[in-house]
Structure 1
Amino acid sequence: MSLKRRRSEDFLLANEPTDFNIITADSELPLEAHLIVLLPCSRLVRDLPRDTSGKTSWDLSKLVLEGHSSPVPSAVVRQWLDHLYSRIDISRQAPTFPSLSEDGRSLLLFADAVGTSTAIMRALCEALTSQPGLTLPVVVNGAGGGAAAGGDGADAAAPPPPPPLQLDLVLRGKLYYLLAGEMRVLTVPYSGPQQVVVASADFVPYKDALPGAMAAALESWLYLAGRVGLVALLRLLLNFFQSHLLPGQASLLLNSTAQVFSRRVLECMPHELLVEGFVSERLWGPQLGLADVPASNQLTLIMRSPHAATWFGLGPESKLTGDAMCQQNVFHKGANSNVLRVSVGGLTPEQHQQAVRAVMGQLEGEEGARGAAARRQ
């Protein structure tokens, strides 16, 4: 049996001593690194004064991240180093986060605080968004249960509220909704019957607080992703929000739009997404071609969208003939219904997408040329 020989090029700095110490508040020993690895990755490292006679030190013992009350822990700095080194050393593993957890938030906040390069920030974003099962944690506080059983008025102590409900909502390929006092979920594209996430008996104390808790979790991550410029993560979060704007009482987010799109979220939204949204809206203004489908009509639809098809228990591209409509602009089939929005005139969906891409491509090209000219000066 022959053993594969380890390549000497696996890590070219393997035999080079470290020359950079990172001091943190919670560790007696500094974290050691190679300055040459960190120099192109962090603006703060680049601007540090060098110690030519020994190791350069970087004191992070007083760095407090946004939303925290204590200095950044060494574990967060070590994750950042692991991510940098994993690009040049096969023995170092980049941190992975199956959830948009507080650990992931701390790493992004630290990377932003130390002026991490755009290329590294995009790689961090890719590490998050490339996971098909990435989840959004939502903590829902339960309401108290009123007067104690058997109590008689003011002397009866109310029972304590139940413990918080911990949910991990998958950001891709799931459709969460409310029905019959339960929280349920469908897989998109449709792959089988609905599943119960929280049964009605357990859901009562959390039902009123759930929409606000979901909106708060989304708002928090939209703000962070926008502030540090993670466009791919923003798109994922925005798609999740939009897909859950279901009609009537089924929606978990229908009345939470203002909470999700807070001032800080809008102020931090990357220019690229603002321009794209504006151009898309101007190319298709449904109010200019608005039309209604009267009640009593019976329509046959081809479900192009996996989400729309899933709502009716179908796969994408399925043809569905609905029942006679009981309400204007509401498509019915059996126990399922959904809103119809009809617009007459304008571009086809394909033409619309092509026009948006043309405008965005033109803008990207102009900004690239402007950046190249600035670098030459």
Structure 2
Amino acid sequence: MSKTSNSNLLGPKNVHLVFNGDEVLQAHSRVLQLFSSAFADRPTVAEDVQTWLIKAEPGPVTRAVVQQWLDAIYAQVDSSRSLRLPSSCLDDSLPLLIFAEAMGTTDVVMQSIGRALVEKSDLHMTVPMGPPSANGMVPVVSVNLRDTIYFVPKSGAAAGTLRGCHPNEPHVVMVLDVEAMTLAKAYDAGGFQALLAKALEACLHLCGRLKLRSLTRLLLDFLKLQCLPTMQFSVLLPTMSLALSPRVIDCMPRELLFEGFVRDALEHRRAQVDLTADKVDVLMASQGAATWFNLPVGSSQTASIEKSSVDGSSLLTFKRGVSALEVRAVLGGPLQQESKRLRTEIVEAAMQS
């Protein structure tokens, strides 16, 4: 069925979606049958008015969620319709994803919802910081899912706080003070790090279960960005086993698992050579690099490569206050573009088998 801006071509709306007792939304059975297995066996006669009682656990589905689901479905066949997400907070779209799963929504619609979330430049998630209050409100902290590095200083005036490096901002910002971090530890023995890992794990599990590839990639990119080279600073390395739980691995989209295996087979070759240099120019070619080094994208900084006195590794060292980073040389393997082409070719063949 090709897209058209004239929904009248679909005929009369002969499905009544009823929820909360008397609130009704109408839809075309032809459209629902195309994109929802819950309606696959229902008749398509226009005169046969159908009623579908919408309910879900643990509470009733809101009209807004059902409307978002219908918009996501109709956007596939009607160019005048589009999905309007409730906000840039991933948590606010979880009811839509769960409802779409319950309705047996087809993969093409599910992927469109995932892409709509990924396209949000300010997409973020919330991390519960304590139990619900007397009025049912849960204290939370918002965590950006793009190009923001979070870390916990262990010394100095900022010790024990949660800090964040944002792209192209001149200063590190404080996200949580010592008191808030202490309250988080009282709520969970693992502190904020464990709470973040558990919140991320829940999102990764749901996205993996629904095979939302683009959204899962974004969450994994966030995870990798938090893997600072020093365990004591990172907010995720100490609790990585909580974030990448067995159920997350079990539900991970096959395409992403295949990509990881092929990438490791093609590219994982450490050269076992020592690198030293008195002067190297480091260009900030990505938002992630710019965030870590607290420099604008496209700028450069002079550094040196020195041998670590601890383990002999090669360290990229700056004169200004930026932590040294290990530099690894790769021996052999395909060039970057060739590796990408091979990965695509191999993974596509595996997915079709």
Normalised TM-score (structure 2) = 0.81
Question: How far did 1:254 drift?
Answer: 1.2
Q: Is the 8 A contact 2:275 2:305 kept in 1?
A: no
Alignment of 1:12 onto 2:1? no
1:281 alignment partner in structure 2 = 264
Aligned pairs for 1:52-131 (under 5 A) are 53-61=47-55, 64=56, 68-87=57-76, 92=81, 94-131=83-120
SS at match of 2:238: coil
Shift of 1:15: 10
- CA–CA distance in structure 1, aligned partners of residues 226 and 324 of structure 2: 12
1:32 to 17, 21, 26: 26
Question: For structure 1, which segment, 32-41 or 235-244, has the greater mean C-alpha deviation from structure 2 after superposition?
Answer: 32-41
Q: Are 1:331 and 2:316 an aligned pair?
A: yes
Unaligned stretches of 5+ residues in structure 1: 1-8, 143-162, 371-377
Partner of 1:206: 184
2:122 and 2:272 map into 1 onto residues whose CA distance is 38
Are the counterparts in 1 of residues 317 and 325 from structure 2 also a CA contact under 8 Å?
no
Tell me what 2:144 maps to: 170
- Work out whether residues 280 and 352 of structure 1, in 8 Å CA contact, stay in contact via their aligned partners in 2: no
Contact conserved, 2:303 with 2:317, CA < 8 A, in 1? no
Letter in 1 for 2:121: P
Deviation at 1:57, TM superposition (A): 2.5
Using the aligned pairs only, state the percent identity.
28
Aligned length: 329
The whole-number CA distance in structure 1 between the counterparts of 2:44 and 2:11 is 18
The within-5 A match list for 1:261-276 is 261-276=244-259
Cα shift at 1:33: 1.3
User: Residue 39 of structure 1: SS of its match in structure 2?
Assistant: helix
Q: Report the equivalent of 2:291.
A: 310
**Letter matched to residue 184 of structure 1:** R
Query: What residue is the counterpart of 1:249 in the other structure?
Result: 232
Is 1:300 aligned to residue 300 of structure 2?
no
Shift of 1:110: 1.5
What is the alpha-carbon distance in structure 2 between the residues aligned to residue 39 and residue 344 of structure 1?
52
Other structure's SS at 1:54 match: coil
C-alpha distance in structure 1 between counterparts of 2:51 and 2:294, whole Å: 60
Q: 2:292 and 2:347 mapped to 1: Cα distance? A: 37
2:183 aligned with 1:196, yes or no? no
**Structure 2 counterpart of 1:22, from 3, 17, 28:** 17
> How many angstroms does 1:83 deviate by?
2.4
Task: State the secondary structure of the residue aligned to 1:250.
Answer: coil
Equivalent-residue separation in structure 2 for 1:203 and 1:17 (angstroms): 56
Distance 1:107 1:95 in 2: 11
1:106 alignment partner AA:
P
Flag the 1:268–1:15 CA change in 2: closer, same or farther, 3 A: closer
Look up the equivalent residue of 2:344 and give its one-letter code: M
Query: Mean alpha-carbon deviation: is it higher for 203-212 or for 109-118?
Result: 203-212
**Alignment partner, residue 156 of structure 1:** none
Describe the SS at the equivalent of 2:34: coil
How far the C-alpha of 1:300 sits from its partner, in A, is: 2.4
In 2: Cα distance, 1:336 partner to 1:327 partner: 18
**Alpha-carbon displacement from aligned partner over 1:52-97 (angstroms, at most 9, x marks no partner):** 7520222334xx3xxx423544442222113223455576552314
Tell whether 2:300 aligns with 1:321.
no
Structure 2, unaligned runs of 5 or more: 132-136
> Which residue identity is paired with 2:30?
I
Aligned to 1:343: 329
SS at match of 1:343: coil
Residue 138 of structure 1 aligns to a residue whose secondary structure is: strand
Give the match for residue 3 of structure 1. none
Q: Quick one: which amino acid aligns to residue 116 of structure 1?
A: T
Aligned partners of 2:174 and 2:351: how far apart in 1?
A: 48
Which stretch has the larger CA shift, 312-321 or 274-283?
Answer: 312-321
Q: RMSD of the alignment, in Å?
A: 3.1
Q: Structure 1 residues 97, 236: closer, same or farther in 2, change over 3 A?
A: farther
Contact 2:267 2:333 in 1 (8 A): yes
Give the structure-1-normalised TM-score.
Answer: 0.76
CA-to-aligned-CA distance 1:216-250 (integer Å, 9 cap, x gap) = 11111111111111110011000000011112322
Q: Write the distance in 2 (CA, Å) between the matches of 1:101 and 1:323.
A: 40
One-letter code of the match for 1:176? Y
- 1:273 positional shift: 0.5
For residues 274 and 90 of structure 1, do their structure 2 counterparts lie closer, same or farther at Cα, with a shift above 3 Å needed?
closer
